[in-house]
Amino acid sequence: MSATPRLSVRNIRKSFGTHEVLRGISLDAHDGDVISVLGASGSGKSTFLRCINLLETADDGDIVVNGEEIAMKTTPRGRGAASRKQLDRIRSELGMVFQSFNLWSHMTILENIIEGPVQVQKRPRADCVAEAEALLEKVGIADRKDYYPAHLSGGQKQRAAIARSLAMHPKVILFDEPTSALDPELVGEVLHVMRDLAAEKMTMLVVTHEMGFARNVSNRVIFMRDGQIDCDGPPQDMFGGKGSPHFRQFIRHMETEHHAA
Amino acid sequence: MEIIDLLGFGDKGWGVLILTGMALTLCVTLASLAIGAVIGAIVAAAKLSDRWWSRMLGTAYTTVFRGVPELLIIYLIYFGGSSAVTAIGQAIGIEGFLGMPSFLAGALAVGLISGAYQAEVYRGAYRAIPVGEIEAAASIGMPPLRSLRRIILPQILRFAIPGLNNVWQLSLKDSALISVTGLAELMRTTQVAAGSTRQYFLFYIVGGVLYLVLTSFSERVFNSAERKSNKSMPRGMGQV
């Protein structure tokens, strides 16, 4: 890998009260990387993802997107972005897909998708509508564009949320357990869309419990434990027995759970 | 026949005066709702703030204005306001008692009370918005003020409609208390008509019916607004 990383995270630390959730995490994501972040619940992986676009503010460390560092400042009220303008611009380049979808419930699916392009990027509405329709076609819910989120299934909502994120033309998309809130039979349709994105060389950082996705779709797997990266590597190495003892124990545990379910 | 004459629009009829009073009741309540909306929004924001002194001030406001009798507030604003006006009058050389305009005093008093109730309605409505939806707006780089306008306010309004309906009905009835300041709204006019004709039953029943007309009409307006806003809710009809 040459060039500047699309996303570079350097030594992120975060505590809630006295509990240190992230204890120095660093990571580079290059163009087209699909990185799966695994770990038991409570290992800090969601917090890590939320620190990247500053939904949580890390106590220490830097976030660099396409070579541009998010400027931080510390005030008596705590640490935060030094420039709201810069933060908003960088956030618009980082897509995020949430576990609970978080579609805006007072807007139709189409309105949800054009909201960012029209209101934040100030692009012409007609262009955005045309693009939104194409995106909905791509994720397979073109016929639901005039529905409100409340009238869609979980899988459809998450596909709409992915389309909403794509409409901003993000450089990287952060997925925060995108299939964890779904009924088992709906997981497949969302993974299918994510697999297509990976094939198109979208840069993705995916916090997940889907071992199949981590093994077969991502090109790198990171295992988090106690707020640190315990081990990481290509999936064939990690799942081929080269992971740390903790990781091997983790996948054994996940597999038994899978069989039990 | 006499009844028709009394309620009619002829020389001896009270019809015009009563309908004017009804219009004035509607106007003073609308004014107080508007005043209360501004106060309610500010107080709700204060109570939702993460600064303790702001929350304390907001709580103090809602405690006072919901906990003290409406009539006392009206007296306080009208007579308190009038003595302030009189003092200003004396300072610029006008002798004697100057009254505060009773419409203004009434709208302000009922508005202050309505604001305390509206603050609670808006606060509850804000809390009903899933935090994730606000985070989703932040995550695409939407500036906070735009998120307020595009994501938060439309949903506050939607969740607030049933509560506002309640507050409106309360204010409509509170407005009857403004009659003590001499404002010729529906209550006052009914009282005067009943007293001067000695037809107490007739005029108080007519007054009551007219209040019911106002409340049931506004109930319809709120219900249709609620239906419209519900089309995006889980139990709504689905498509537009």
Q: Which residues pair with A35 in a beta bridge?
A: A205, A220
pLDDT, average across residues B44-52: 94
Establish if B149 touches chain A: CB-CB under 8 angstroms. Answer: no
Q: How far apart are CA B135 and CA A176, in angstroms?
A: 13
- Number of A–B residue contacts, CB under 8 Å: 86
pLDDT score recorded for residue A258: 66
| Residues on chain B touching A90 (C-beta within 8 angstroms) | 141
Closest-CA residue to B66 (of B145, B154, B166, B202)? B166
Span B54-92, pLDDT tens digits? 999 999 999 999 999 999 999 999 988 888 888 888 888
Asked if B154 and A89 come within 8 Å (Cβ–Cβ), the reply is: no
Residue A20 lies in a domain: no
- A156: tokens are 């459809």
pLDDT score recorded for residue B34: 96
Chain A residue with the nearest C-alpha to that of B130 = A102
How high is the mean pLDDT of chain B? 89
- B138 in Cβ contact with A55 (< 8 Å): yes
Span A206-244, pLDDT tens digits? 999 999 999 999 999 999 999 999 999 999 999 998 889
Strand A228-233: give its sheet, edge to edge: A94-97, A172-176, A203-207, A34-38, A220-225, A228-233
Interface test with B, best of A53, A75, A151 (most B CBs within 10 A): A151
Q: How far apart are CA A206 and CA A213, in angstroms?
A: 9
Interface test with B, best of A110, A119, A173 (most B CBs within 10 A): A119
| Residues on chain A touching B233 (C-beta within 8 angstroms) | 105, 148, 150
pLDDT score recorded for residue A3: 80
pLDDT score recorded for residue B1: 46
Closest-CA residue to A138 (of A193, A213, A198)? A193
Measured at the CA of B237, the angle between CA A129 and CA B125, to 5 degrees, comes to 85
Q: What is the ipTM of this complex?
A: 0.93
Q: Whole-model pTM?
A: 0.86
Asked if A104 and B136 come within 8 Å (Cβ–Cβ), the reply is: yes
Establish if B233 touches chain A: CB-CB under 8 angstroms. Answer: yes
Establish if A146 touches chain B: CB-CB under 8 angstroms. Answer: yes
Measured at the CA of A241, the angle between CA A238 and CA A244, to 5 degrees, comes to 70
Helix (H) or strand (E) holding A129: helix A125-138
Q: How far apart are CA A89 and CA B143, in angstroms?
A: 10
Distance from CA of A29 to the nearest CA of B (A): 19
- A188 in Cβ contact with A140 (< 8 Å): no
Q: How far apart are CA A255 and CA B134, in angstroms?
A: 36
Angle formed by the axes of helices A154-166 and A125-138, nearest 10°: 130
Residue B239 pLDDT greater than 60, yes or no: no
Establish if B151 touches chain A: CB-CB under 8 angstroms. Answer: yes
Distance from CA of B233 to the nearest CA of A (A): 6
pLDDT digits (tens), chain A, 261 positions: 458 999 999 999 999 999 999 999 999 999 999 999 999 988 899 999 999 999 999 999 999 999 999 999 998 888 999 999 999 999 999 999 999 999 999 999 999 999 999 999 999 999 999 999 999 999 999 999 999 999 999 999 999 999 999 999 999 999 999 999 999 999 999 999 999 999 999 999 999 999 999 999 999 999 999 999 999 999 999 999 888 999 999 998 887 776 655
Asked if B139 and A88 come within 8 Å (Cβ–Cβ), the reply is: no
Establish if A128 touches chain B: CB-CB under 8 angstroms. Answer: no
Percent of chain B residues topping a pLDDT of 70: 95
Interface of B with A in 115-134 (CB under 8 A): 130, 132-133
Residue B18 pLDDT greater than 80, yes or no: yes
pLDDT band at B238 (very low <50, low <70, confident <90, very high): very low
pLDDT band at B236 (very low <50, low <70, confident <90, very high): very low
Q: How far apart are CA A101 and CA A60, in angstroms?
A: 29
Q: How far apart are CA B187 and CA B175, in angstroms?
A: 8
**Regarding beta strands A203-207 and A34-38, do their DSSP bridges make them parallel or antiparallel, or are they unpaired?**
parallel
Interface of A with B in 38-67 (CB under 8 A): 53, 55
Percent of chain B residues topping a pLDDT of 90: 67
Asked if B139 and A87 come within 8 Å (Cβ–Cβ), the reply is: no
Distance from CA of A228 to the nearest CA of B (A): 24
Mean pLDDT check: name the lowest of A3-7, A137-141, B29-33, B123-127: A3-7
Residue A245 sits in a domain whose CATH number is 3.40.50.300
Write the single-letter amino acid at B93.
Answer: G
Residue B228 pLDDT greater than 50, yes or no: yes
Q: How far apart are CA B147 and CA A126, in angstroms?
A: 22
Residue A21 lies in a domain: no
pLDDT score recorded for residue A259: 62
CA pseudo-torsion sign A203, A205, A209, A215: positive
Chain B residue with the nearest C-alpha to that of A91 = B141
Distance from CA of B117 to the nearest CA of A (A): 25
Interface test with A, best of B52, B133, B134, B140 (most A CBs within 10 A): B140
Closest-CA residue to A36 (of A222, A236, A179)? A222
> Containing domain of residue A161, as a range?
33-58+93-259
b/e map of B200-212 (b: 16 or more CB within 10 Å)? eebbeebbeebbe
Q: What beta strand segments (E) does chain B contain?
A: none
| Residues on chain A touching B144 (C-beta within 8 angstroms) | 84
Span B154-211, pLDDT tens digits? 999 999 999 999 999 999 999 999 998 888 889 999 999 888 888 899 889 999 999 9
Chain B residue with the nearest C-alpha to that of A122 = B142
What is residue B72's DSSP assignment? H
pLDDT score recorded for residue B230: 78
CATH homologous superfamily of B2-229 equals MetI-like (1.10.3720.10)
Please tell me the total count of domains within chain A.
1
List C-alpha distances in Å: A195 to A103, B73, B186.
Answer: 22, 65, 69
Strand A19-29: give its sheet, edge to edge: A19-29, A7-16, A60-65, A68-69
